[in-house]
Amino acid sequence: MSSVLFLVDHSGGKVAKAAAELATFAKSIGESIAVVFASNPAEIASQLNNISVDKVITATGDWDKYGPAAIADGLAQIIAAKKPNALLITSSAAGKEIAARVAVKTNSGIITDAVGVDKDLITTQSVFGGSTTVHSAVTTGTPVITLRANSIEPVATTSAAAVEEFSVSISDSAKLATITSATAAVKGGRPELTEASVVVSGGRGTNGDFKPVEELADALGAAVGASRAATDAGWYPHSHQVGQTGKTVSPQLYVAAGISGAIQHRAGMQTSKTIVAINKDPEAPILEIADFAVIGDLFNVLPQATEKIKARKA
């Protein structure tokens, strides 16, 4: 039977939502094996009981000190021992770097930013502003595939998976760069941007006032995003920037308020399932990809929508 390893993302002792999605992909291909790198892996492994995992491999080590290079070391060693049919990693900046190093170490092909992978390990990617769908396959080694968050509806299970401890040695070259201090991203009460199933974003059109954007986000249980114009102006933190040089999001619903839809912005949100735009300008490029657009002032449209949603829930 095929087996598929996937890397469990976690931060602050909590497993990321994307882990359940990777587990679901892995399980649809074969035996689903979660790999946990942590200073206290038991704490992380215990959170994997209700997702599609057949087995958990844990590795204790100085991951917080050495970062992606060390984790890539560990994954390559586990691949050599377990000979899985594929490795799945979340398509984050760090995830892609880890994937890149594992591919080199194991002489394997790599596919990044997939939105799907089938049981024959054929991947689906959406490129050129979502205008083209590409199917690809790795032809050499152990396919290393990174998948975007929100690409699959996670399947829940109840079975507790067996945990195996694996001893990894970190190579000297992975110890060349050291992390001397870390500041965790400030987390509010809202969902994490890349994981959220609804994202409400504001741009230059907010003129610095994100209140209507945040209020609609809260009514929808959404994360808040921002265009680069808004983060550059200091209206919202850079960690919330959506786009080519910000985060890539792929939620069920993306609401763009006061955002023109420059190609660099679209690069980070074009795979959203439903796109809604609120813009004063009937010619704004975002309207070309919007499923629903209101041509109007966001300061009128957003508060009205927020009120209506609250009224429905009450």
Ligand X SMILES: Cc1cc2nc3c(=O)[nH]c(=O)nc-3n(C[C@H](O)[C@H](O)[C@H](O)COP(=O)(O)OP(=O)(O)OC[C@H]3O[C@@H](n4cnc5c(N)ncnc54)[C@H](O)[C@@H]3O)c2cc1C
Interacting residues toward ligand X by CB under 6 A: 203-205, 227-230, 241-246, 258-260, 262, 264-265, 268, 278-281, 284, 297-299
- When CB distances are held under 5 to 8 angstroms depending on the partner's kind, the choice from ligand X, another protein, none that residue 265 binds is ligand X
Instruction: Report the C-alpha gap between 258 and 179 in whole angstroms.
Output: 38
Report helix, strand or coil for 270.
coil
- When CB distances are held under 5 to 8 angstroms depending on the partner's kind, the choice from another protein, ligand X, none that residue 205 binds is ligand X
Cβ atoms within 10 Å, residue 133: 12
Residue nearer to another protein on the CB measure, 27 or 96:
96
To ligand X, the closest distance from the beta carbon of 109 in angstroms equals 28
- When CB distances are held under 5 to 8 angstroms depending on the partner's kind, the choice from ligand X, another protein, none that residue 279 binds is ligand X
Instruction: Report the C-alpha gap between 59 and 111 in whole angstroms.
Output: 25
158 token code pair: 């109840």
- When CB distances are held under 5 to 8 angstroms depending on the partner's kind, the choice from another protein, ligand X, none that residue 139 binds is another protein
To another protein, the closest distance from the beta carbon of 262 in angstroms equals 9
To another protein, the closest distance from the beta carbon of 35 in angstroms equals 18
77 token code pair: 């060693």
To ligand X, the closest distance from the beta carbon of 207 in angstroms equals 7
To another protein, the closest distance from the beta carbon of 291 in angstroms equals 4
282 token code pair: 């009937």
To ligand X, the closest distance from the beta carbon of 275 in angstroms equals 14
- When CB distances are held under 5 to 8 angstroms depending on the partner's kind, the choice from another protein, ligand X, none that residue 227 binds is ligand X
**Pairing between β-strand 14-15 and β-strand 10-11 as defined by DSSP bridges:** antiparallel
Residue nearer to ligand X on the CB measure, 91 or 279:
279
Residue 75 CA neighbour count, 13 Å, CB half? 35
Phi/psi at 14 (5° precision): -120, 135
What one-character DSSP code corresponds to residue 169?
A: -
Residue nearer to another protein on the CB measure, 159 or 221:
221
Partners of 276 in the β-ladder: 255, 292
Residue nearer to ligand X on the CB measure, 41 or 258:
258
Cβ atoms within 10 Å, residue 46: 12
Are 9 and 3 a contacting pair, CB within 8 Å?
no
171 token code pair: 């190579």
Residue nearer to another protein on the CB measure, 165 or 297:
297
- When CB distances are held under 5 to 8 angstroms depending on the partner's kind, the choice from another protein, ligand X, none that residue 1 binds is none
Instruction: Output the CA–CA distances (angstroms, integers) from residue 84 to 60, 183, 208, in the order listed.
Output: 21, 35, 50
Report helix, strand or coil for 89.
strand
To another protein, the closest distance from the beta carbon of 226 in angstroms equals 13
Residue nearer to ligand X on the CB measure, 174 or 229:
229
To another protein, the closest distance from the beta carbon of 180 in angstroms equals 5
What one-character DSSP code corresponds to residue 267?
A: T
Instruction: Report the C-alpha gap between 60 and 148 in whole angstroms.
Output: 26
Residue nearer to another protein on the CB measure, 83 or 158:
83
- When CB distances are held under 5 to 8 angstroms depending on the partner's kind, the choice from ligand X, another protein, none that residue 284 binds is ligand X
- When CB distances are held under 5 to 8 angstroms depending on the partner's kind, the choice from ligand X, another protein, none that residue 302 binds is another protein
Residue nearer to ligand X on the CB measure, 40 or 245:
245
Closest CA to 151 of 311, 3, 271, 26: 271
